Amino acid sequence: MPELIPAPVQIPVPGGKVIEEYAGHVATGDDRVSIAHMVAPAGWTEPEQTPEFDEFTVVLEGSLTVDSEHGPTLVKAGQAIVARGGEWVRYHTDDGARYMSICVPAFMPDTVHRADEDHNVYDPE
């Protein structure tokens, strides 16, 4: 029988970003995939990371910049980007963004490898 998810679980994060997880480790206990709605305010920056999962991001409003070892990629409303597991990335916004993030396998704090947590940093200089 199909399972209704009546509302997302809001996950607290610093920096003014709002994460509402509909499916994933926190919301449904599923480690195979996570699906979250994100709202990032103007000027928001996420720490550098080298996640073990693939992250599919669909920008619904505004724009999101994804830095990688190949340089920055601007993703505008109506566009999407895929960051493959093992790639160094950093997400940020100038004017703010609303987007959906799908991670396969699911986002987990111990598999995202953020620079501020474990010093897994790519230094392009």
- CATH number at 87 reads 2.60.120.10
* Whole-number Cα distances in Å, 57 to 1, 33, 105: 28, 13, 14
pLDDT digits (tens, 9 = 90+) for 75-114: 999 999 999 999 999 999 999 999 999 999 999 989 999 8
In a domain, 59, yes or no: yes
Please tell me the pTM assigned to this model: 0.89
Q: Confidence class of residue 117 from pLDDT cuts 50, 70 and 90?
A: low
In a domain, 122, yes or no: no
In a domain, 73, yes or no: yes
Residue span of the structural domain in which 99 resides: 48-117
Read off the tokens for 64: 């999101």
Structurally, the chain folds into a number of domains equal to 1
In a domain, 35, yes or no: no
Nearest to 64 by CA among 37, 34, 49, 42: 42
In a domain, 17, yes or no: no
In a domain, 15, yes or no: no
In a domain, 74, yes or no: yes
In a domain, 29, yes or no: no
